[in-house]
Amino acid sequence: MHEQSPHDFAHLKPTRSEQLDMLDLGEKDKAMAALLQSDIIKPNIQFILEEFYNALLTYPIFNEIIARGFDLNHLKQVQSKYLETLGVNFSDANYFEERSRIGLTHVRVGVPLHAYLFAYRKLQQLLIQKIPREKLNVSTVESLIAFILKITALDIALAAESYHLGSIQDLQHNLDDLHDRHIQLEHEVGIDYLTGLSNRQRIMVLLDAGIKRSQIEAIPICVIMADLDFFKDVNDTYGHQVGDLVLKATAARIESAVREKDVIGRYGGEEFIIVLIDKSLNQAVDIAERIRTQIEFNPINTHNSTIRMTISLGVAQAHLNDNSDQLIARADAALYRAKNNGRNQIAVDKVDA
């Protein structure tokens, strides 16, 4: 069998416009690029450089590179220039060419491709950490986080092209890996401090994206709204610290009942939301039942008590042209029917039933 070389796939290399489209980078992101430079990089560049290299040097591969005779201060100067151009005129041909040259340089230096994943992930974390949340509104913060994830994904994609001479198959593999890491990072940025689940703000962003994907790919998406029964009684009887333990345990039991890629969030108080992409309504009802039984038949042990809880759930599937608010409202209405019908049960959106 003829073994194909990377050159055999050269005709598959996406154009600059296609690469930008794949990452959803466009005119709307240029304002975020300017904000990245003015509010994050320029005021914090020394901090970012120091923390970046401190993290890299905890790994043997980077120490080995330094040991080959590379001057750390020179590397910091080079990285400083890189940061000062990060996202600047990202749609221009010069930006693409410069990022590709960086990749070729690293090939000559001997930086393995897997090291890029760690380095870029650390860079993403530092940039997001230095977002001045106190002076920006929530929407701008969310847009800025999204842009940081996308522009670093573009940069590593261009570096990967240099490694594989345009092999789109290898490039797609690396982009998929980055995508998974970006999703994980988004969860870390938008988590509920008590349960470790996505917070309401983050869950809405993820649900919006899920609905768009379902409409494009013609796949189902369902939402489960779940609310602990008589949770106020727990707080009144045992106190809020025990109530917090119950919420944490509930979150863990919900996680155990769903797939790793399903999105779970704390919607508020004792109410949780589960987003199921590529699951039919019947499958979503089955998952809701798993959650219900996990809560009912697994008492929560505290220091002094064993607390039995139940949960009510409402399930709805997105319809054509639904938005997040409409889908949640229908699942929420189903939830309250489950409450009114006696609790510890599942109700399905009447339109879907």
Domain boundary residue, one of 143, 164, 189: 189
Examine the domain organization and report whether 261 and 336 are in the same domain: yes
Examine the domain organization and report whether 328 and 216 are in the same domain: yes
Question: What local confidence, expressed as pLDDT, does residue 164 receive?
Answer: 60
For residue 353, being part of any structural domain is answered with: no
Looking at residue 39, the DSSP 8-state letter turns out to be: I
Question: What local confidence, expressed as pLDDT, does residue 204 receive?
Answer: 92
Concatenating the DSSP letter of every residue in 182-240 gives HHHHHHHHTB-TTTSSB-HHHHHHHHHHHHHHHHHHT--EEEEEEEETTHHHHHHHH-H
Question: What local confidence, expressed as pLDDT, does residue 184 receive?
Answer: 65
Examine the domain organization and report whether 133 and 214 are in the same domain: no
User: In the chain, how many domains are there?
Assistant: 2
Secondary structure, 3-state, 41-61 = HHHHHHHHHHHHHHHHCCCHH
Q: Which amino acid is at 202?
A: R
For residue 232, being part of any structural domain is answered with: yes
Question: What local confidence, expressed as pLDDT, does residue 331 receive?
Answer: 97
CATH code for the domain of 84: 1.10.490.10
For residue 214, being part of any structural domain is answered with: yes
Q: Which domain holds residue 217?
A: 200-348
Question: What local confidence, expressed as pLDDT, does residue 13 receive?
Answer: 67
For residue 195, being part of any structural domain is answered with: no
Question: What local confidence, expressed as pLDDT, does residue 73 receive?
Answer: 86
Question: What local confidence, expressed as pLDDT, does residue 109 receive?
Answer: 66
Element of type H or E holding 282: helix 281-296
What tens digit of pLDDT does each residue of 35-79 get? 999 999 999 999 999 999 888 888 887 788 777 777 888 888 988
CATH code for the domain of 275: 3.30.70.270
Question: What local confidence, expressed as pLDDT, does residue 163 receive?
Answer: 62
Whether the model pTM is above 0.75 = no
Report helix, strand or coil for 341. coil
Sign of CA dihedral 58, 63, 65, 71: positive
Contact 107, 163 (CB under 8 A): yes
| Closest to 291 (Cα-Cα) out of 240, 234, 222, 233 | 222
Query: Residue 14 and residue 172: Cα distance in Å, rounded?
Result: 11
Examine the domain organization and report whether 213 and 152 are in the same domain: no
Q: What percent of the chain has pLDDT over 90?
A: 58
Q: Which residues, given as ranges, of the chain have pLDDT below 70?
A: 1-13, 106-110, 113, 162-176, 179-189, 352-353
Q: What is each CA distance from 33 to 84, 95, 116, 123, 159, in whole angstroms?
A: 11, 13, 22, 16, 20
Examine the domain organization and report whether 169 and 213 are in the same domain: no
